[in-house]
Amino acid sequence: MQEKKIKGIILGNKVIVEEKEDASALYNKGCYGKIINDRNELSFVEALYLMEKGFLEVYHDSKKLDFKQFVSIAQSFDPRFWIKFCGYREIRSRGYIVKTALKFGADFLVYDRGIRPGEGHSKWAAFFVSEEESFDWKRFAAMMRVAHGARKKLLVGIVDDEGDVTYYEISWLRP
């Protein structure tokens, strides 16, 4: 990315990068966020990932937030935030582009390496669960229906207490 840290401001459940040049750089270089009216709207997981990498500073009520403060705010919006972040961070660190998938009913859509949103389709609908959570067949079937309906392979990530993720890729098998 760049040397200077980009400034983001919490607005509701998003982080907004208002500086047009910075907003474009984040999207063009890494497909982070989405551009709306020359601003970049980052999800909380994207923002924390960029904070952790040293590219972004996030402010709330004119106060610069540290990692822990940001996580606390994010968890107030989504109790599953930390589990989702661990999955997001792990997949991003492997070179994949990851986008939120709220409208599909999944945690994220994951694009294969070399594929950018708008240029090709995502390959996986990803769901992340804590190893502490119970996971029944109804929930699994619902995840499968979401992935199949969106024409994606299902990727389930089980996140342990250390934030490590074990993946299971599931796809329909036609006899």
Which of 20, 64, 121, 168 is an active site residue?
A: 121
Let me know if 153 is a catalytic residue: no
Let me know if 152 is a catalytic residue: yes
The residue behind tokens 């709220």 is 102
Q: State the maximum Cα–Cα separation within the chain, in Å, rounded to a whole number.
A: 59
Which of 49, 88, 111, 123 is an active site residue?
A: 111
- Contact assessment for residue 55 and residue 6, using Cβ atoms and an 8 Å cutoff: yes
Which of 152, 153, 167, 168 is an active site residue?
A: 152
Output the 3-class SS for the chain: CCCCCEEEEEECCEEEECCHHHHHHHHHHHCCCEEECCEEEEEHHHHHHHHHCCCEEEEECCEECCHHHHHHHHHHHCCCHHHHHHHHHHHHHCCCEEEECHHHCCCEEEECCCCCECCECCCEEEEEEECCCCCCHHHHHHHHHHHHHCCCEEEEEEECCCCCEEEEEECCCCC
Let me know if 121 is a catalytic residue: yes
Q: Which residues are catalytic?
A: 111, 121, 152
